[in-house]
Amino acid sequence: MVMTAEGLRARCARRMSLTPRGFADCSWLRQVFLEVPREEFVPDRVWWPARGDGARYPLIDRNEKPRAWLKAVYEPGAALITQIDDGTVAPTGPADGAFTSSISSPGVVIELLRHLAPEPGERILEIGTGSGYTTALLAHRAGAACVVTVEIDPCLAARAERRLRAVGLDPEIVTGDGEQGYARGAPYGRILSTASVRRIPRAWLRQLKPGGVLVTPLDSPFGYDLLVHLTGDGHGGASGRAVAQVEFMRVRGQRAQRPYTELGWPAELNTTQWRDLRVRADQSGQHITAATAEAACNW
């Protein structure tokens, strides 16, 4: 049986339609997924995120194993690693090190966009361009002229720009520190981060318009990130809740570990409580409480 990108994309969409964390009732999201060729944004050489023989991460080379590469591109739960140790490890074979960039799995990308719920013509800021794939989905939904994406790594930004232009999309691509957002294009109706943070940057809150939505992975004491959905108040603050368990790479400026009590987390939390968490972030700090708590823990 000959596998095509279109066929695998359709199969991936069918599989994601069967899970509660998939498309749900978002027909626009399924259509956008089918319209954007994910394979155009995946480098020819990527690492599989599970260790293989020799306890290293196997390299999948499109030129050597095109079928395996294409199947990996459309595996709903597979993130493909595009960079290790900030690019110091060359993609020439199995490797070890810290993952510093990836193309997130189709399932995770779809979940991010489902919670973000962008509208056509809405101004969107994306933090972490990476491969440019999520940028392409956003551009298809909102219109490329409405999308600004920020990437700290100039090599990744340049590659993403080439791939986006190759498929006919022209969003604004900014090379810089995503924690600063992009004030020149503010305010934004939607802000999406594809890298996790320990604390929500104040710049994002200032650049979010009243009623705008901010979706970001937030590091938690539970051993995984929580995807939080916040709504802007128009005064440099936003509040909301945790909506899913996820795992993302940290923004570069927040890799250093910090005590969670310094980041607004209560001193004691049960791992089953994450669905009850309420999150408030403003220019004074970050405040995280369980729904039944009477007082916030601030930083």
Structure confidence by residue, pLDDT tens digits, 247-267:
999 999 999 999 999 999 988
Q: Known catalytic residues?
A: 104
Question: Looking at residue 292, what is its pLDDT?
Answer: 62
pTM above 0.75, yes or no: yes
Q: Which CATH number fits domain 106-290: 3.40.50.2000, 3.90.470.10, 3.40.50.150, 1.10.8.60?
A: 3.40.50.150
Question: What residue segments make up the domains of the chain, in order of their start?
Answer: 5-103, 106-290
- Average pLDDT for 193-209: 98
- Residue 38 pLDDT > 60: yes
Using pLDDT thresholds of 50, 70 and 90, give the confidence band for residue 296.
very low
| Cβ 214 vs Cβ 67: under 8 Å | no
Please give the full DSSP string across the chain, using - where no structure is assigned.
----HHHHHHHHHHHHHTSTTS-TT-HHHHHHHHHS-GGGGS-SEEE-SS--GGGSBPEEETTT-HHHHHHHHT-TT--EEEEEGGGTS-SSS-B-S-EEEEE--HHHHHHHHHHH---TT--EEEE--TTSHHHHHHHHHH-GGGEEEEES-HHHHHHHHHHHHHTT---EEEES-GGG--GGG--EEEEEESSBBSS--HHHHHHEEEEEEEEEEEE-TTSSEEEEEEEE-SSS-EEEEEEEEE--PBPGGG-S---GGGGT--S---GGGGGGEEEEEETTEEEEEETT-SS-B--
Question: Looking at residue 272, what is its pLDDT?
Answer: 79
Using pLDDT thresholds of 50, 70 and 90, give the confidence band for residue 269.
confident
Question: Looking at residue 295, what is its pLDDT?
Answer: 41
Using pLDDT thresholds of 50, 70 and 90, give the confidence band for residue 70.
very high
Which amino acid would we find at residue 90?
A
Beta-bridge mates of residue 245? 226
